[in-house]
Structure 1
Amino acid sequence: MRISFIGAGRVAHHLAHVLSQHHHIIQIYSRSLEPAHTLAAQVGATATVNICEINPEIDLVIIAVSDQAIASVIAEVHQHLADVLMVHTSGSTDIEVLAKNHARAGVFYPLQTFSLDREIPWSDTPLFVEANSEADLVLLTKLAYQLSHRVYQYTSAQRLSLHLAAVFACNFSNYCYDMAKQIVDTQQVDFSLLYPLILETANKAVQHDPKQMQTGPAMRGDQNILNMHQQILDDAQREDLKNVYNLMSQQILQSHHPQ
Structure 2
Amino acid sequence: MIRITLIGSGNVAQHLIQAFAKSELVDIVQVFSRQKETLSHLLDPTQIVTDYSALQESDAYIIAVADNAIASVSEQLAFKNRLVVHTSGTVSLNALDPKNRRGVFYPLQTFSKNAAVDFSVIPFCLETENHSDYSVLETVAKSISNAVFPISSEQRKALHVSAVFVNNFTNYLYQIGHEICVEHQVPFEILKPLIQETAQKIKILNPADAQTGPAKRNDSSTIEAHLDYLTNENQKNIYKLLTQSIQHNGKTF
State the TM-score, normalized to the length of structure 1: 0.89
The answer as to whether partners of 2:84 and 2:100 remain within 8 angstroms in 1 is no
Structure 2: distance between partners of 1:66 and 1:19 = 21
The amino acid across from 2:89 in the alignment is G
Structure 2: distance between partners of 1:13 and 1:69 = 17
Structure 1: distance between partners of 2:233 and 2:48 = 48
Answering whether residue 240 of structure 2 is matched by residue 246 of structure 1, we say yes
Provide the residue aligned with 1:28 in structure 2.
31
For the residue of structure 2 that corresponds to 1:43, the secondary structure is: coil
Provide the residue aligned with 1:132 in structure 2.
129
For the residue of structure 1 that corresponds to 2:22, the secondary structure is: coil
Structure 2: distance between partners of 1:89 and 1:196 = 33
Deviation of 1:216 after TM superposition, in Å, equals 0.9
Structure 2: distance between partners of 1:104 and 1:162 = 24
5 Å-filtered alignment, 1:205-220, equals 205-220=202-217
Deviation of 1:21 after TM superposition, in Å, equals 2.3
- The verdict on how the C-alpha distance between 1:37 and 1:83 changes in structure 2, with shifts beyond 3 A counting, is farther
- Structure number with higher helix proportion: 1
Structure 2: distance between partners of 1:121 and 1:17 = 11
* Offset from partner CA, 1:63-97 (integer Å, 9 cap, x none): 111112211211222xx132331110111111111
Provide the residue aligned with 2:80 in structure 1.
82
Structure 2: distance between partners of 1:223 and 1:16 = 52
Structure 1: distance between partners of 2:28 and 2:233 = 50
* Offset from partner CA, 1:86-120 (integer Å, 9 cap, x none): 1101111111111x533311111111111122222
Deviation of 1:166 after TM superposition, in Å, equals 0.8
CA-atom RMSD in angstroms: 1.8
The amino acid across from 1:140 in the alignment is L
Deviation of 1:19 after TM superposition, in Å, equals 1.0
* Offset from partner CA, 1:201-259 (integer Å, 9 cap, x none): 001122101111111111111111111111222xx3x111111111111101111158x
- The verdict on how the C-alpha distance between 1:102 and 1:183 changes in structure 2, with shifts beyond 3 A counting, is farther
* Offset from partner CA, 1:129-182 (integer Å, 9 cap, x none): 111121111111111111112111111111221111111111111111111001
* Structure 1 unaligned residues grouped into runs of 5+: none
5 Å-filtered alignment, 1:1-259, equals 1-22=2-23, 23-31=26-34, 33=35, 36-44=36-44, 46-53=47-54, 55-77=55-77, 80-98=78-96, 100-233=97-230, 236=231, 238-256=232-250
What percentage of residue pairs aligned between the two structures are identical?
38
Structure 2: distance between partners of 1:29 and 1:15 = 13
The answer as to whether partners of 1:221 and 1:257 remain within 8 angstroms in 2 is no
The answer as to whether partners of 1:3 and 1:24 remain within 8 angstroms in 2 is yes
Structure 2: distance between partners of 1:24 and 1:37 = 21
Structure 2: distance between partners of 1:257 and 1:174 = 27
Number of residue-to-residue matches in the alignment: 248
Structure 2: distance between partners of 1:199 and 1:176 = 14
The answer as to whether partners of 1:2 and 1:24 remain within 8 angstroms in 2 is yes
The amino acid across from 1:248 in the alignment is L
Structure 1: distance between partners of 2:202 and 2:22 = 33
Deviation of 1:43 after TM superposition, in Å, equals 3.0
* Structure 2 unaligned residues grouped into runs of 5+: none
Structure 1: distance between partners of 2:71 and 2:174 = 34
